[in-house]
Amino acid sequence: MSSSSSNSSNNNDDQMLKRARELGIVTAADRYRAQTPKCQFGETGICCTVCLQGPCRITKKPGMDRGVCGANADTIVARNLVRHLVFGAAGHSDHAREMVLALKGVGEGSVKDYKISDPKKLQHLAEKLGLTDAQTQDEKALALFVANKCLQDFWKYDASPCLWSQANLDAKALAKLQEIAILPSAIDREIVHILHQLNMGTDADPFNILLSGLRAGMIDFTGMSMATAVTDILFGVPYPVVTEANLGVLKKTQINIAVHGHNPLLSQVIVYAAKELHKEALEAGASEGINIVGICCTGNELLMREGITSVANYGTQELAVITGVLDAMVVDVQCINPALKEICQAFHTTLITTSPRAKMSGVMHVEFETTSALESALRITREAIASFKRRDDTLIHIPDYKAEVIGGFSVEAMLALFAKIECDHPMRVLANAISNKTIKGICAFIGCNNHRVEQDQNITTMARELAQKDVFILSTGCASGALAKAGLMSSLAVEKYAGPGLKHFLKQLEAKSTLACGLPLVFNMGACVDNSRVALLWKLLAEEMNLPLSCLPVVASSPEIMSEKALAIGCWMVAIGVPVVVSIPLPVTGSAYVTELLTTKLKDIVGGYFSIEPDPLAATKIIDGILQERILKTC
């Protein structure tokens, strides 16, 4: 295996971009450059397209300081921001609905290709959601009970908070959010209410609009918590696995199938199908069978549970095709570049869409249904086998770099690790490390890649700097992909980058771990929806330390924020009391009022706030300062 260095990881990307240009292929990096300079009205949030009298652009010029309707910059910026947040919340909550309906199908017996993989977690969640001792303990009945309780959180009409919000927040945070009335009572109904509020000629109070933005964040939190829990029930709670990441995981001697998107319902079954069709793959000439690789959060889901390798994150999805050995790109929903169609057509790669929500014209579509999951997966896998036979060896170029990855750190896995030191009070291990200042606190890296910055550089730079400052680092989503590709999820990275306190903490855990390869510098907690795992860990820490979350030395950072979903995640983290540092300017600077509210005044309202700093080293100093302030804070 090649050595783990971010420079090697970047060389992979540079190689493939050069290769693409030699072949006359336009990539996302080229398209970004063609789009510059950016429209300053859009960048600062003061372009309004809510009605057909516009677009209205706000300037200081007399007569242009308001839109045609009279909306000023504060209202327009707030409205635009909250639209982003609602769309992000819709993405995560719709993901949750699909998982819940699959669980319901298992309970009813109509879905045959899935099973309850973690009955213990099913029972635990049923009890959290109100199951009494008098009710049934039958596994299918429990699945139906949990699924129906979940579905109520989408549509119920009473004013009580969503059950999932109540079940996954600590008491202090819950009380605070109820006090300011931003806890959602039903996901779908609240989304409709907020979208109505954002209609032309409806709400013009930027503060009231931004409160609804916090509620949209909590809708996102509710859906994410639900999605993670139900996925664990169906496919199992992740525990540490050892695998690899980066473009070097692709194999010339195998049929390479990339699964890309965010919903694991199909990709998990493709893993089963690949095993079933191993003989067919050998007969087609693939001497080592089928190689499933992951992109984006679908890849993270499989990495966490199956040890499937991660080939790319959002920013490098197109580069995987340009290797010339990707036989099928199978996509579900979210973060899928439409340009994949043209790039796949330039090679032999078969692009397959699977969701009615995410089609592309002129692309093979295999409609995925949970009632025929394995049938769909077998068809897709056979398409990849057929595609393999059409490879053009003259187009093959696989970079040789890949990095070791130690992943699979669910909360359950971390508690099991901590329990080897403190059997009865596992969270005390983390609390003590903070209290005695062995570590400064916890930083969770969340979110995306963004072509506004060099691929993965903000994320990897900040992670290395924070590790040297003794910060315990968690990660999810495409941030996990960046850190994995750069070798920062290996034990070698601990030796290279961890400060003395962090190294002591990790070595203390490692001494009790059963992993032969040791522990990584960064703990991968999964896909974007799995930020609910981060929240659960923080909740348990707050309870162990008997402090509100707004006083704990915890912080989140989205160094390359891109998606509306990432913005929604950051919003709920702020709402529950956690500062969020971003290194991509948010589209709010056209309103001094909205900018001040997000970066300063929210701290007094909910305890969390946004900090915006484009320079990654300066952003690292801000995070370090936040943790120092909070570790000394008396609450």
Query: Same CATH fold, 403-631 and 70-235?
Result: no
pLDDT the model gives residue 134: 57
Do residues 385 and 281 make contact, with C-beta atoms less than 8 angstroms apart?
A: yes
- The 10s digit of each residue's pLDDT in 406-434 is 999 999 999 999 999 999 999 999 999 99
Rounded to whole angstroms, the Cα distance separating 9 from 403 reads: 8
Look up residue 72 and give its DSSP letter.
B
Rounded to whole angstroms, the Cα distance separating 561 from 570 reads: 9
Q: Strand order of the sheet with strand 522-524?
A: 522-524, 471-475, 441-445, 554-558, 580-582, 610-612
Rounded to whole angstroms, the Cα distance separating 478 from 548 reads: 29
What CATH architecture applies to the domain 70-235? Up-down Bundle (1.20)
Which region among 57-71, 75-89, 297-311, 339-353 has the lowest average model confidence (pLDDT)?
57-71
Residue 487 gets the label, from left (phi > 0), alpha (psi -120 to 50) or beta, of left
pLDDT the model gives residue 180: 92
pLDDT the model gives residue 6: 55
- The 10s digit of each residue's pLDDT in 47-89 is 999 999 989 999 988 888 999 999 999 999 999 999 999 999 9
* Domain spans of the chain, in order of start: 6-33+247-395, 70-235, 403-631
Rounded to whole angstroms, the Cα distance separating 162 from 153 reads: 5
Q: 403-631: what fold?
A: Rossmann fold (3.40.50)
- Report domain 6-33+247-395's class: alpha beta
The pLDDT > 70 percentage for the chain reads: 98
**Confidence bin at 41 (pLDDT 50/70/90):** very high
- The 10s digit of each residue's pLDDT in 203-250 is 999 999 999 999 999 999 999 999 999 999 999 999 999 999 999 999
Q: Is the pLDDT of residue 170 over 90?
A: no
Q: Is the pLDDT of residue 4 over 70?
A: no
**Confidence bin at 1 (pLDDT 50/70/90):** very low
- The 10s digit of each residue's pLDDT in 368-421 is 999 999 999 999 999 999 999 999 999 999 998 999 999 999 999 999 999 999
Which region among 70-84, 151-165, 483-497 has the lowest average model confidence (pLDDT)?
151-165
Report helix, strand or coil for 514.
Answer: coil
- The 10s digit of each residue's pLDDT in 243-290 is 999 999 999 999 999 999 999 999 999 999 999 999 999 999 999 999
